[in-house]
Amino acid sequence: MTDILMPKATAVWLVDNTSLTFEQIADFCGLHPLEVKGIADGEVARDIRGADPIANGQLSREQLDSAQASDKYRMVAQKSRHAELLKPVKKAPRYTPVSRRQDRPDAIAWFIRNHPEVADSQIARLLGTTKATIDQVRNRQHWNAANIKPVDPVTLGLSTQLELDAVVRKAADKKAKDDAKRGIVEPDGATLEPASVTGSAQVEDVADAADDSYDDDDTED
């Protein structure tokens, strides 16, 4: 069954403009009959403007007439002529100017050396390169491997600082989650003891020194 566009708006229009039963409208719009009843009672979708399913090509007049003539008739939604416009547009591959393309291996080498946690797919998307090229740079099989030097992509003009930060942050967060699942905990660095501990220790040292000095005085006497 084809999912209709704007099911609640369509239900509002059908409630206001037809004699269909709540069950027929609910079946066509993919809603619960009680929800359709709520629309009819003004308790649901009060601020939603009705959408004519005939005008937008989701329902034929013949089907609507047949459904109004028999409450057992069930309407079937047609593919809307607007459906193509609502399809998500696939993002085009990142374009890299010809003058910058020879710099991509340097940026790839920078990622491999400084951020190995960043996935190849992320590098490829950011730099507009391919996984095959990344593998060649990593394995030093690139045709220009002898001249490749790690340089960050911002300096090379292949990405903005915000884009680079976002990629690195996303990879770091994913690595942290994966490490947590495997029970890997980053070792904590050396930390200073709290003042309450160091302070009390110093007081005790001073007190001990005073006692020793007092004992020495008694011995001399």
- 168-214, pLDDT tens digit by residue? 999 999 988 888 888 876 554 444 444 444 444 444 554 455 455 44
Q: How much is the mean pLDDT over the chain?
A: 80
CA torsion through residues 120, 123, 126, 132, sign? negative
pLDDT for residue 202: 45
Share of the chain above pLDDT 70, in %: 73
Look up residue 126 and give its two tokens: 């950011």
pLDDT at 195: 41
Q: Which structure tokens are listed for 203?
A: 């007081």
Q: What is the DSSP letter of 83?
A: G
Mean pLDDT of the region 99-127: 91
Predicted confidence (pLDDT) at residue 121 exceeds the cutoff of 90: yes
* Nearest of 90, 76, 81, 87 to residue 3 by alpha carbon: 76
148: pLDDT strictly greater than 80: yes
Mean pLDDT of 27-35: 92
- pLDDT of the residue at 104: 93
How confident is the model over 63-94, as pLDDT tens digits?
A: 999 999 998 999 988 876 555 555 556 666 66
Please answer whether residues 105 and 142 qualify as being in contact, where contact means their C-beta atoms are separated by less than 8 angstroms.
yes
What's the pLDDT at 206? 43
DSSP 144: T
CB 29, CB 10: distance < 8 Å: yes
- Nearest to residue 160, comparing CAs of 127, 113, 122, 114? 127
The confidence score (pLDDT) of residue 64 equals 92
Cα gap 123→129, rounded to integer Å: 8
Measured CA angle at 187 (ends 183, 192), to 5 deg? 140
Q: What is the mean pLDDT of residues 40-53?
A: 87
Instruction: Kindly tell me if the per-residue pLDDT of 106 is higher than 50.
Output: yes
Question: Which tokens belong to 16?
Answer: 């206001």
The reported pTM is 0.45
Q: Which tokens hold the place of 54?
A: 């005939």
